[in-house]
Amino acid sequence: MRVDVLVVGAGLAGLHTARRLAERDLSVLVVERRRSLTAGIRTTGIFVRRTLDDFSLPDHLLGPGIRDVLLYPPSRRSPIRLTSDRDEYRVADMAAVYEHARRAAEVAGVRVMLGVRYAGASHDSPATHLLIGAEPVSARFLIGADGARSRVARDLGLDVNRRFLVGAELVHPVASGRNTPAFHCVLDPRVAPGYLAWVIDDGRHAHVGVAGYPSVMRAGVRHLLDAFAADAPGRTAPAGPIERRGGPIPVGGVLRRLASPAGLLVGDAAGAVSPLTAGGLDPCLRLSELAASVTADFLRTGDQHELRRYDGGGLRSHFSGRLLLRRAYAAVRSPGAAEAAVALLRNRAGRAMAARVLFGDRSFPDVTTHPVPVGRNSGT
Backbone angles phi, psi at 117, to 5 degrees: -110, 135
User: CB–CB of 192/251 below 8 Å?
Assistant: no
Q: 10 Å Cβ neighbour count for 215? A: 10
Q: Measuring CA to CA, how many Å separate 124 from each of 118, 131, 210, 259, 375?
A: 17, 16, 45, 18, 34
Q: Measuring CA to CA, how many Å separate 26 from each of 63, 131, 371?
A: 34, 21, 22
Query: Which H or E element spans position 339?
Result: helix 335-344
The rounded distance, in Å, linking the Cα atoms of 367 and 55 is: 12
The rounded distance, in Å, linking the Cα atoms of 215 and 218 is: 7
User: CB–CB of 265/307 below 8 Å?
Assistant: no
Side-chain half-sphere of 42: how many Cα atoms within 13 Å? 21
Specify the DSSP class assigned to residue 9: -
Backbone angles phi, psi at 171, to 5 degrees: -130, 130
Specify the DSSP class assigned to residue 66: B
Query: Which H or E element spans position 250?
Result: strand 243-250
- Quote helix, strand, coil % in the chain, to nearest 5: 30, 25, 40
Closest residue by Cα to residue 2 from 128, 91, 111: 128
Backbone angles phi, psi at 285, to 5 degrees: -70, -45
Specify the DSSP class assigned to residue 234: T
The rounded distance, in Å, linking the Cα atoms of 332 and 324 is: 13
* Sign of the Cα pseudo-torsion (270, 276, 278, 279, in order): negative
**What pLDDT, on the 0 to 100 scale, is given for residue 365?**
59
User: CB–CB of 234/199 below 8 Å?
Assistant: yes
User: CB–CB of 122/30 below 8 Å?
Assistant: no
pLDDT tens string, the chain, 380 residues long: the values are 999 999 999 999 999 999 999 999 999 999 999 999 988 888 889 999 989 888 888 899 999 999 999 999 999 999 999 999 999 999 999 999 999 999 999 999 999 999 999 999 887 778 899 999 999 999 999 999 999 999 999 999 999 999 999 999 999 999 876 678 999 999 999 999 999 999 999 988 999 999 999 999 988 999 999 999 999 999 989 999 999 999 999 999 899 999 999 999 999 999 999 877 888 899 999 999 999 999 999 999 999 999 999 989 888 877 777 778 788 888 888 999 999 999 999 999 999 989 988 887 655 656 643 344 555 433 32
CA dihedral 167, 98, 39, 217 (to 10 degrees): 0
Residue type, 259: A
**What pLDDT, on the 0 to 100 scale, is given for residue 364?**
63
CB-based contacts of 255: which residues, under 8 Å, 6+ apart?
A: 153, 158, 159, 160, 161, 265, 270, 271, 312
CB-based contacts of 343: which residues, under 8 Å, 6+ apart?
A: 73
The rounded distance, in Å, linking the Cα atoms of 346 and 1 is: 60
**What pLDDT, on the 0 to 100 scale, is given for residue 246?**
92
Backbone angles phi, psi at 367, to 5 degrees: -110, 10
User: CB–CB of 89/68 below 8 Å?
Assistant: no
Q: 10 Å Cβ neighbour count for 171? A: 21
Q: 10 Å Cβ neighbour count for 276? A: 20
Dmax over Cα atoms in the chain, in whole Å?
Answer: 63
Tell me the residue length of the chain.
380
